[in-house]
Structures are given as C-alpha cells and as structure tokens.
Structure 1
Amino acid sequence: MAASISNWIPIEWDENTLTRLNQRSAIEGYARGYAMSTDQKRVLRSLGMSVGVGSTYSSDSSTNDYVLLDSVKFTGQFIVDEDDLADADSVVDTLSTKAADWSKTYAVKFDNACVAVTGTGDGSSGTPFNSIYKTVRSNGVTGESYTADDNYVNYNGQASATYASLSSVVAKVEQGLYWNPANSLVIAHPAFRDVFRNTKDTNNMPVFIQGPAGTPDSLFGIPVAWSLGAKTSPIATEAPAGNPVLVVVGDTDALMRGDRTGPEAQISPSTAHDSTDETALKLKVRKAFEVSHPKAVAVLEKTA
C-alpha cells in the first residue's frame, strides 16, 4: 500500500474531536498539564512557609519536597481489511474516525484511573495512578499532616441527608489553605444530576444551577464537570460499575496531569509473509497523574 506508515506519528485531532475529549474527560479538560520529556518528572512542592512579624527574621521550618509524575500508556488497536482501504485518503479518513471513537473511550478510562479507582497506584495497566479517591482515603505522606478519610463523606442516598452531605463535602475544602474560589471545580458522575435537581436549601432554592448553552452547570456556585469515569472501580475501566462519586477540587492546579506523548498512531500494512490482507492501526497516549496535596480535594461517595 502506498499509504503505509511505519513510525509513530502525532494525531492532529480536529477541533471538534478535541472539544469532545475535553468535555468527556474532566482531567484532560481541567487538570494542570505538565510537559514530560522523560517517563518521570519531579515537580517541586512547598508545604507552606511561615511569616514573621517585626524586625527579627526567623528561619522557615516547613517542608519542601516534590511530587513524582510517572507516565503510563493508554492504548488501542484496530484491524481493517485492506480491500476497504482503496487509497491514501481512505487511510487518513480511517485514522481520523477511529481516533475520534477511541478518544471517547479513553476519556472515560483515563478519568476513572485518575478519579475513582480504589486500588493503590503502582504504574500497572489496572492501577496506573493513585486516584483522587485513593488519595483521600489513605494517610498522607510525611509532612502532609493528613489522616485517611478526613476529606471523605459517605452519602447514603437518602433525600433527607442530601443537602447536609453536599454542604459538608464542599466545606472540607473551602475552609482550608488550598481553596481558590476562582479555580475551584466539582467533578461528578451523571448519577448526581437527579440528586442535584431534587435538592433545595432551607429557602426552597435549588443548590444546583443548570448552565445555559456554552457554560458549565454549578453546585453552590462551583462549576461542575460531569464524568462517566467518576464511579468506583478496583481497576481502571471504561465501564466502571461501582458507587458514583463527587469530587470537590479547591484549586484545579492541585490536579497534576503529566503529558508525556501524544495521542499518536501507527499503521502497519500486511506483508507477503502474512496469510491475510489486513492493516493494523495502533493508538496510544502516555500520561501521568497525581494530586498535589490530599487536603486540596474532598470526595463524596453515594453508597446507596
């Protein structure tokens, strides 16, 4: 085939595809991106600095360390009969179409890995990162002064507990040092849409406001990003079946997304040694994710 491609090439997604990806993936759309020239990247982190008063300077004793971003691959493969690829234009069109289809599934799986996987992140395909859920439900590392479940709210699904539960999970972040009203965000599974619509405050006013076309919905004045990946799962999946979760992010800069490569594609045509005339299309991205500090996020889990 004249249009064969042997090397990995960047996919220049069109504006519509990229827009759909950002709409479907809260982490791709809102997290702070860090360009990675290697598989791992250290991002310096300060855990605060003391302020003195008066003419005598005192040394700061706060901890300075780093967050390690460790990239993993998200992949896809598609096999097509070469009789269906008559010319180079067909190859390009197939690449564009399949890349767009794959991006939708990738958006859900990547969000699930970053938001709601319950297992410990070890860099494997099943648990690539410590998710927001896992971070909130685990003890913080030395210097973070965070105890497991401090920023966790269990919501039993009862209407009488809804308002208090939603207010509580927001309060866990908005009263801390990592709250930035101008850059705050709620990430929620669409299962919470019905919960929001039926929740009102003591003045019978809805706490959820559906945004007009082109603007996000909001909860207590905080923009909401809807994500199908925001359901608990022991491993990363594009079809999580656990409990819906809602995440309050005090400052989206706390969501650290490492961008190692791509999306990229590789096309491999058949050879004379093959028994069939088929072309293989591979797709991949290499990403990393970490939460800069557990106190910058809070999780509400709908357990019933």
Structure 2
Amino acid sequence: MAFVNADAWVPEEYGSEVITRVNQNSAVEAVARRITMGSDTIKVPRMGRFGVDIVAKTELYTDAEPVLDNVILDTRKFGKTFTIAEEDLSDAVADVISGYQTEWAVSYARELDNAAIACTGVENGTTVPFTSLYASASAGQKIASAGAVTYTHLSEVMAKYEGSDYANDADTVVMAHPSFKATFRGILDSNNRPVFVEGIAGTPSTLFGIPVNFSYGLKTSATVTDAPTGNPLLVVGNKQHLLLGVRGGPESLIGDEFRRDGKILKLRARRGFAVARPEAFGILEVTAA
C-alpha cells in the first residue's frame, strides 16, 4: 500500500473540548514541565546540586562544579483512526466526529499517564513507550500499603519527598488514582481535621493542602494501556522533574474512505517523556495485605 503525505492535520486550539478533556484526565499533561521538541529526539540538560558561597569584600568568587548531564526525550506517537459511515455523518443528530475526538482525548490522557508514571516494563518504544517514574524510582522511594491506606502511609510518602534534596513547596504536586478518593475521605489528622478537601466551583482538591490531580492511568501495568488493572498509585514530588516533550498535537485529519461510503477520522499526539530526577518523588502503592 502506498502512503500519501497528509499535510492537512488540524491542531486543537487551546481551550477546545479535546484539550479540555486531555487536561482534565491527564495528570502529566496538566502538571509536567513542557519541553517543545523541534525534532524527534532532543537532549534536555540536567543540572546537579551545588552550594552558594559567602564572598567577602574584594575576595574572589569560586566556580561551581555541578554534575551536568542530559535527559533524552524520544517522540512516541499516540494515535487512532475511526471509520465513520456516511449515513452517520448526514443523519445523526449528534456530532459524531466531535464525539470520537473527545472520547479519544480521554483514552489518550489515561494512556499517557500510564506510560509516564505507572508502567512497570522496560522501555521498548512501542508497548512500553517510556521509562516510567515507577520503573525509574528506587525501592527506597516506594511504600507498599500491605492493606488499607492509613494516615501513616500518607505521612510517610510525603516524608520520602520532603526529605529529598529536590523538595520545593512551590513545585510540589500530588497525583493519584481516583480510587484513593474514598480512602482520603475517611482519614483525619490528630486534630480530627480531614487531610483531604474536595475542590468545588473550579478549585482543585487538596491533600495536606497540596493540589491533587487524579488520573485513571495511575495503576500499574506491564505494558501501556488506557485501562490498567494493577495496583493504584499515589505520587508526590516536584513537577519540574517530570519532562513532557511536546512534538505535536493533539491534532486530527479527516479523509475519504474511497472503497466505502464514509470518512476516516485520524487522531494523534506526539509526545516524549522522561524523569529528570527520580529521587524527587515518593510513591505509595496499594498492595494486598
């Protein structure tokens, strides 16, 4: 089959229903540090920590000697096609194309989060598109609940992050699978105050005063999926160390299905992802007792 170069891709505008759905359902799209990718592979500098001197009057400054290396972002393409019957386009009251676009956005958001945060496999570019945060984090950064999640578990995972060199209140985020909501509602601190406050009227939900982004992609899985069935995860860390490479999209293309009476809707987003400093995160995994 010959491939035709399609140059009529229509990018989604900021504020569109597709972008809104993506940001509502993807913790990574909502909070990660976005890196514009001008090519399929780029290197992002990663700076090590260094101290700051007290310099006396007329004295020399000393050079910092940080460890400088790179994080590589490789573009992966998340896409799908939909064949739409001509009758559905002309007869249906509902906007079929918009319906497919928004549902794709939800699936894409969940799959991206699963790939970036919760996938346990070794990166191969296809079934495991990225080295996830879960896969790159050390055992010392992870807490297994071994049963129901308690206040102690939440406090301990916060401490994993707060005790690292990369903790920064201004950049701290919490990401969790929605199944944590029921647990959060039943946990009080020592003063009988809820540790979780659900957001209302557009305000974010918070855990210990930190905004929480929920995603159905935050369950473990061996390979990437938009419907993982493994252990639910809660992640707390510094969002500056989640690097989301943006190569293109979400965008769509509509073409004719010549052999049938219908159209083909093609949707895609091209993204890269890497964790700059895995030690900048704590992970709580819900496991069986």
Whether TM-score is above 0.5 comes out as yes
Quote the offset at 1:15 in angstroms.
Answer: 3.0
Equivalent residue number for residue 24 of structure 1: 25
Quote the offset at 1:113 in angstroms.
Answer: 0.6
1:255·1:291 contact (CA, 8 Å) conserved in 2? yes
Q: State the number of aligned residues.
A: 278
Letter of the 2:85 partner, please give it: D
Write out per-residue CA displacement over residues 228-251 of structure 1, whole angstroms, 9 at most, x where no aligned residue: 0000000110110000000002x2
Quote the offset at 1:8 in angstroms.
Answer: 4.0
2:185·2:194 contact (CA, 8 Å) conserved in 1? yes
Equivalent residue number for residue 262 of structure 2: 278
Match of 1:156 among 109, 121, 146: 146
Quote the offset at 1:42 in angstroms.
Answer: 0.9
Equivalent residue number for residue 52 of structure 1: 53
Quote the offset at 1:32 in angstroms.
Answer: 1.2
The reply on whether 1:122 has 2:124 as its aligned counterpart is: yes
Equivalent residue number for residue 70 of structure 1: 74
CA-based RMSD: 2.1
For 2:228 and 2:123, the matched residues in 1 are separated by: 17
For 1:177 and 1:10, the matched residues in 2 are separated by: 43
Quote the offset at 1:120 in angstroms.
Answer: 1.7
Match of 1:248 among 216, 228, 236: 236
Equivalent residue number for residue 261 of structure 1: 248
1:50·1:61 contact (CA, 8 Å) conserved in 2? no
Write out per-residue CA displacement over residues 6-45 of structure 1, whole angstroms, 9 at most, x where no aligned residue: 5341232553432222011111111111111100111111
2:247·2:270 contact (CA, 8 Å) conserved in 1? yes
For 1:62 and 1:102, the matched residues in 2 are separated by: 43
For 1:163 and 1:290, the matched residues in 2 are separated by: 30
TM-score, normalised relative to structure 1:
0.85
For 1:8 and 1:33, the matched residues in 2 are separated by: 25
For 2:198 and 2:6, the matched residues in 1 are separated by: 48
4+ runs deviating over 6 angstroms: none
The alignment partner of 1:150 has SS state of helix
- Write out aligned runs for 1:146-225 (5 A): 148-158=138-148, 162-225=150-213
Equivalent residue number for residue 112 of structure 1: 114
The alignment partner of 1:269 has SS state of strand
Letter of the 1:215 partner, please give it: T
For 1:128 and 1:117, the matched residues in 2 are separated by: 9
Which consecutive residues of structure 1, in runs of 5 or more, have no partner in the other structure? 137-147
Write out per-residue CA displacement over residues 128-153 of structure 1, whole angstroms, 9 at most, x where no aligned residue: 111111111xxxxxxxxxxx212111
The alignment partner of 1:290 has SS state of strand
Letter of the 2:261 partner, please give it: D
2:148·2:286 contact (CA, 8 Å) conserved in 1? no
TM-score, normalised relative to structure 2:
0.89
